[in-house]
Amino acid sequence: MPTLPNFTQFDGRYWDTGSIRNALDYQGSAAPHTGKAYDEAMLLGISGGIAFGYFTFHYQGYDPQVNLLTRNTFEPMQRICERLGIEVKWLRAASVERMRQNLTQSLEAGQAPIAHPDMYLLEYNCLEGDAATWGAMPLVVFGYEPGGAAMLSDRSAQPLTVPAKAFDRAMSRVKKDRHGLMLLGHPDNERLPTAMRAGLRDAVQLMLEKPPKGAARNFGVKALAHWQKMLGGTGKGSWAKEYSYGRACLAAHTSAYRFLTPAFGKTWAADRDSYADFLRQAAAVLGENDLIEVAALYDEAGAAWQCLLDALLPADAALLRRARELIDHGATTFIAEGGAGLATIADCRDELAGLMQLAEADFPLDESDMAEIRANLRESVARVEATEARAILALKAACVTIGAD
């Protein structure tokens, strides 16, 4: 099997920054200020940094979802590569046969290709998909044998292996990314200060100003205020109207929780701890000590986000507590054990599905219970908004002194 020799890069935890981090590390790229691999905190900051987004989805035949963004999702991989001067070579193929050739040739040349397979078709993710459900997410391929197996580095501390046929099928599913491989060159380390400054400005813009696309109320500090309104109101879109009871209630609370935690590649502090790490690195590289003070504010924001997790799935509500335990256990098992924990991860998924059925048939919380939970959650969101506002305004002021390149 064509395999990258001595591949040990399994530190990446989020799809975009994690795959770039692991590929660059294997290829020997090092950040100039540390002499070590570019870490995910640095790549997060350069990609556009932290953000907040509030989105709800209601599709017939599916449970409702509350999707919460914690980082800038506007082309983060492209931003990282452009800002650091990383040459990107795309190997696109019209057929799976050509994709196999590109993949094996890349591995034999000692390159760490980034692929974008459909995550729903990779068994280790334990996701229940259908014809209308897909998600092409980046990962590193470090071994591949047509007709044999594919070896992957994907958010786990362990190597992951899937049948090559399954990988081929996942690579063929999503038209936009079909059969494509991404090869990275080395960063131009002289661009690091400029890349940092650009990332800092992105974070300020998305948290305080008009987003590149979409409604303003769905992004940044305004989105946190909008979420509070939805938690306190009773009209269309409010949690009291849409998610007050039964299966819809459990689906809303668990989906929001997933999007804020390691179950979706985040830290327990909604990535604010990682961003604080980036700011401290930026302070050293740029010689801007004000960023150290801003980093401390993001540590405070991270603590507020952790308290919000307690309000989303509170321990004193048995159904919600058990859902949280299952989500956390499945996520931490995947990170620590990878494919070896597949049975445990599947058990967590199946028990959670059972809780959804229980919530539909015999929801154990009454109207007053849920009203209290929503009120507590609203207070937690208000505390998060206060800490986020302090932090982003301090960052905006720091950016004025940092200036443009």
- Which helix (H) or strand (E) element contains residue 52? strand 50-57
Mention every residue, 6+ apart, whose C-beta is less than 8 A from residue 73.
Answer: 51, 53
Question: Which pLDDT score, from 0 to 100, does residue 401 have?
Answer: 84
Positive or negative: CA dihedral 312, 316, 322, 327 = positive
Q: Are 49 and 298 in contact (CB under 8 A)?
A: no
- Which helix (H) or strand (E) element contains residue 299? helix 290-312
**Closest Cα partner for 1 from 177, 159, 156?**
159
CB-hemisphere CA count at 13 Å for 227? 30
Structure tokens at 48: 């556009």
Q: What b/e sequence results for 217-234 when a residue is b if at least 16 CB atoms lie within 10 Å of its CB, and e otherwise? A: ebbbbbbbebbbebbbee
- Which helix (H) or strand (E) element contains residue 220? helix 220-232
Mention every residue, 6+ apart, whose C-beta is less than 8 A from residue 77.
Answer: 16, 19, 20, 47, 138, 182
CA distance linking residue 327 with residue 255, whole number of Å: 10
CA distance linking residue 304 with residue 265, whole number of Å: 19
CA distances for 369 relative to 318, 358, 363, 364, angstroms: 12, 17, 11, 9
Q: What is the DSSP string of 321-337?
A: HHHHHHHHHHHHHHHHH
Q: Are 322 and 355 in contact (CB under 8 A)?
A: yes
Query: Looking at the DSSP assignment, which residues form a beta bridge with residue 143?
Result: 3, 151
**How many CB atoms neighbour CB 182 within 10 A?**
22
Q: Are 16 and 79 in contact (CB under 8 A)?
A: no
CA distance linking residue 197 with residue 46, whole number of Å: 8
Positive or negative: CA dihedral 59, 380, 44, 3 = negative
Start-to-end CA span in the chain (Å): 47
**Closest Cα partner for 182 from 281, 53, 81?**
81
Question: Which pLDDT score, from 0 to 100, does residue 403 have?
Answer: 64
Question: Which pLDDT score, from 0 to 100, does residue 404 have?
Answer: 55
CA distance linking residue 245 with residue 38, whole number of Å: 46
**How many CB atoms neighbour CB 235 within 10 A?**
10
CA distance linking residue 306 with residue 301, whole number of Å: 9
Each residue's pLDDT, cut to its tens digit, for the chain (405 residues) gives: 899 999 999 999 999 999 999 999 999 999 999 999 999 999 999 999 999 999 999 999 999 999 999 999 999 999 999 999 999 999 999 999 999 999 999 999 999 999 999 999 999 999 988 988 999 999 999 999 999 999 999 999 999 999 999 999 999 999 988 999 999 999 999 999 999 999 999 999 999 999 999 999 999 999 999 999 999 999 999 999 999 999 999 999 999 999 999 999 999 999 999 999 999 999 999 999 999 999 999 999 999 999 999 999 999 999 999 999 999 999 999 999 999 999 999 999 999 999 999 999 999 999 999 999 999 999 999 999 999 999 999 999 999 988 655
Single-letter amino acid, residue 176:
K
Report the DSSP pairing between strands 149-153 and 139-144: antiparallel
Helix ranges (DSSP H) in 86-183:
96-108, 164-171
